[in-house]
Every structure is written in C-alpha cells, then in structure tokens.
Amino acid sequence: MNEQEFGFETQAIRTHIERSQFQEHSTPLYLSSSFVFDDAEDMRASFTEEKERNIYSRFSNPNTTEFVDKVCAMEGAEAGYAFATGMAAIYSTFAALLNAGDHIVSAGSVFGSTHALFMTYFPKWNITTSYFDINQPETIEGLIKPNTKILYAETPTNPGVDVVDLELLGQIAEKHNLILIIDNCFATPYIQQPIKFGTHLVIHSATKLMDGQGRVLGGITVGRADLIRQIYLFSRNTGPALSPFNAWVLSKSVETLAIRVERHCENAMKVAEFLESHPKVNSVKYPFLKSHPKYEIAKKQMLLGGNIIAFEIKGGLEAGRAFLDKIKLCSLSANIGDAKTIVTHPASTTHSKLSVEEKLAVGISEGLVRVSVGLETVKDVIADLEQALA
Ligand SMILES: *Cc1c(COP(=O)(O)O)cnc(C)c1O
C-alpha cells in the first residue's frame, strides 16, 4: 500500500493495522509488558537493534507503535514516540535534546505546565528561556543567542486563541539553525500540519481532540527521525511511555478524528458568530472569524478554525464567574477537545496565580471565558450560553 497516495482519513484509518495470528479486523489489545525471544541469537540481535521488534513495552508495544505510525502518517512525519501524557511528551522532548547551558526561545503564551517547566524546572539545569509576544514574532530574532537551540510555540494558543505564522517560524529556525518545535494540540493534524511549514518536531496532548471523548491521557512527539531517535533513547531509559491500553483507545479514536474535528469546527463557527453578535460580549477570538487579528495567517495554515473560542464578557471577573454559575448544559471542567462542550474562566482558575498584568501579557483578561465547543446539537449549546449571558 503506497500511503502517499491516500487521503488523510484513509491514512488515519488504514495505516499500520496490528493483527495477531487470529486476523482480527479491529486491533486487539496487547497487554504484555515484555515479549519472548526464539533463542540467544534472536535476543542478542534484538537488543543490538539489528532486528526491529518489540522487547519490552517501555521501549515499544504493538499498540503504541500502531498509534505512533498513524500520527506520523497524519502529520507527514518520519518517526515518533508516544508518551503517557502531553506533558511527558513536552518534558521528554526538551530533556532529550538540551544540555546544561542551552537556551530556548518560546512564545510567552504556552500551556501552563509548559510555562512551569521553563520557569521553575529547566533553570535547575541551567537551561534558560526567553519569551516573545505571540503577536509580535518579528521580535524573535532579537532574542536568539549563540546558545539558543530550540524555538517553541503553540498555535492556536491556550487559552487566548492567538495564532502565529508557522511559515515565518520555519524561516527563522532555518536561518538560525534552531530546532523548531510546535505544540499542535489545539489544531490537530487534520486542521494543520506544521511539518509542511518547516517544523522539525510536532507535539500533541492526545488527551484532547485526538481522544476526543475525555477518556484517556496520552501524548506524542513526531518529526525528524534523527531527533526522534534521541527522544526515543532518552525515553526508553527514563520511562514516560504511553500504556498499551491508552494507545489502543487512541488508535481507535484517530479513525474518526477527521469527521469529529470537522463537526467540532462547524459547531464552533456557529457559536463564535452567535457570541460576536451578543451585546454582553465585548470581543470574540476565533481564528476563522474575520475579526481575528491573524485571520489571514489562520486561513493560510489552517483548514478549519478549531473548536476553541475565547470571548470577553462585559463586567470583568465577577461577570465571568456569574456566567459560569448560570451554565446548565455545558460542563465546567478542566479539559478541552471533548465531545461535551466545556466552559472555563481562566482568570479565576488555571491562571489565578498570575497578576492582572501577567495575565494580560499572555492574553487573559479578567472577563475572558474559554469555550471548547463539543459535538452536542449546536442550537442547544448556543441556547445554554444565551441563557447564561442573559
Ligand atoms: C492539555 C495540554 C497539554 C498537556 O497535555 P496533558 O495530556 O494534559 O499532559 C499541552 N499542551 C496543550 C496546548 C494542552 O492543551
């Protein structure tokens, strides 16, 4: 099967179906921590990697390999490694590639725990980070130093739903010989494939839209084979591997990624248009609304607008909290990318420890509400938001 000729959905569904001697149509679950060898020579050759085969599930497992191969096919990546969580993927990717004294240039608005890695943990090993404003990528080059090794960003961002030009980041990385790493969690490979724009490694929290039903945690890094090799060897020794069960769930999930994400985005567009026309809403941020400051860039690099909307309620912190209290159908929960619509108020929850100025610097005003639009009948979601705004 020449996979290059197939479309996205076919690749997500048909890439690397793992079957036992029973020829199951649906991949079985390989709950085995280790694998057996035929003889001493088979064991020797496997450990020296002359033979590509499963040895121990911390290294690889049929279910995790199927998931990795599917994501590689969707992202157009050479290789990958799957992790227990998105944060395990992010931590292990940096830890595998960086040495003491190295420097990272990152967008300021990144996922909260990624921010904590940069600010609290990496400095313990003398790895430092400089931040650029996601809306001013022209300032990136001024931050690059002789010891800068990695350029890092998320697009769209969490929770501000800002967008950064991937082609521009690719050009900067190429010019300065940096490893460009993109957290593509909000877009998914169906909407955006950063490798096409010169990204070297793409990271996902598979917990979000990839699972899509709020069941399992997972993470993955895919991209250039030589970099993945370093990440694999680091991870094989340090143990952040994805469990076979979660890999099995995720391989099933990606079979329906395209059709789910399409509906998520269709619903999100309708919710965004509703919010934009509402008198109690100051502003709405959604990549495919013309009012989004980076609408043209979003249209260039994204197939659809995603399922996350950030909007600003009139009345600040109190109005934001009051809105959440009136929500009936949607969930107040700390996840995104679920079939169930989720509403959060970052200023009083995930980002409550930041000062008002620090929040604004990463795009979070006191009245900002984030909606992860789900797969319910969209009129019901809109009706719930409408009664909560009233
Ligand atoms: C959730 C999330 C992560 C972390 O993933 P986990 O699976 O929760 O560890 C990283 N980046 C982004 C953008 C996320 O939304």
Nearest-CA residue for atom 1 of ligand 1 = 205
CA of 292 to the centre of ligand 1 (A): 24
CA–CA distance, 297 with 292 (Å, rounded to integer): 10
Per the DSSP assignment, residues forming a β-bridge with 103 are 128, 148
Please identify, by atom number, the ligand 1 atom nearest to the C-alpha of residue 154: 13
* pLDDT value at residue 4: 59
Please identify, by atom number, the ligand 1 atom nearest to the C-alpha of residue 157: 13
257, amino acid identity: L
> How distant is the alpha carbon of residue 93 from its chain centre?
14
CA of 161 to the centre of ligand 1 (A): 15
Domain boundaries, the chain: 3-256, 257-389
Q: Which residue has the higher pLDDT, 170 or 334?
A: 170
Identical fold between 3-256 and 257-389 = no
CA of 48 to the centre of ligand 1 (A): 34
Which helix H or strand E contains 209, and what residues bound it? Answer: none
Q: 52, 62, 59: which is closest to 28 by C-alpha?
A: 62
Q: pLDDT digits over 149-174, tens only?
A: 999 999 999 888 999 999 999 999 99
What b-and-e string marks burial along 264-290, b requiring 16 or more CB atoms within 10 Å of the CB? bbebbbebbebbbebeebbebbbbbbe
* pLDDT value at residue 22: 93
Mean pLDDT of 26-39: 95
**Of the listed ranges 71-80, 194-203, 315-324, the one predicted with least confidence:** 315-324
pLDDT of 373 above 60? yes
CA of 334 to the centre of ligand 1 (A): 11
Q: Which residues contact 31 (CB under 8 A, 6 or more apart)?
A: 244, 245
Q: How confident is the model at residue 267 (pLDDT cuts 50, 70, 90)?
A: very high
Q: 359, 384, 387, 362: which is closest to 373 by C-alpha?
A: 384
pLDDT of 3 above 60? no
* pLDDT value at residue 317: 86
pLDDT of 32 above 80? yes
CA of 116 to the centre of ligand 1 (A): 13
Length of the chain, in residues: 390
3-state secondary structure of 228: helix
Neighbouring CB atoms inside 10 A of 214's CB total: 17
Q: Write down the architecture of domain 257-389 according to CATH.
A: Alpha-Beta Complex (3.90)
Q: pLDDT digits over 88-121, tens only?
A: 999 999 999 999 999 999 999 899 899 999 999 9
Q: Which of 90, 92, 111 to mutate to test the pocket of ligand 1 (most atoms within 8 A of CB)?
A: 111
Report the chain's mean pLDDT, rounded to a whole number.
95
Q: How confident is the model at residue 5 (pLDDT cuts 50, 70, 90)?
A: confident
pLDDT of 7 above 60? yes
Q: Say if CB 106 and CB 152 are below 8 A apart.
A: yes
> How distant is the alpha carbon of residue 354 from its chain centre?
23
Structure token pair of residue 236 = 């094989």
Q: Write down the architecture of domain 3-256 according to CATH.
A: 3-Layer(aba) Sandwich (3.40)
CA of 336 to the centre of ligand 1 (A): 9
Please identify, by atom number, the ligand 1 atom nearest to the C-alpha of residue 335: 1
* pLDDT value at residue 125: 97
Binding-site residues, ligand 1, Cβ < 6 A = 85-87, 111, 154, 158, 183, 185-186, 205, 207-208, 217, 219, 336
Q: How confident is the model at residue 18 (pLDDT cuts 50, 70, 90)?
A: confident
CA of 205 to the centre of ligand 1 (A): 5
Q: pLDDT digits over 217-255, tens only?
A: 999 999 999 999 999 999 999 999 999 999 999 999 999
Nearest-CA residue for atom 8 of ligand 1 = 86
CA–CA distance, 212 with 363 (Å, rounded to integer): 26
Q: What is the pTM of this model?
A: 0.95
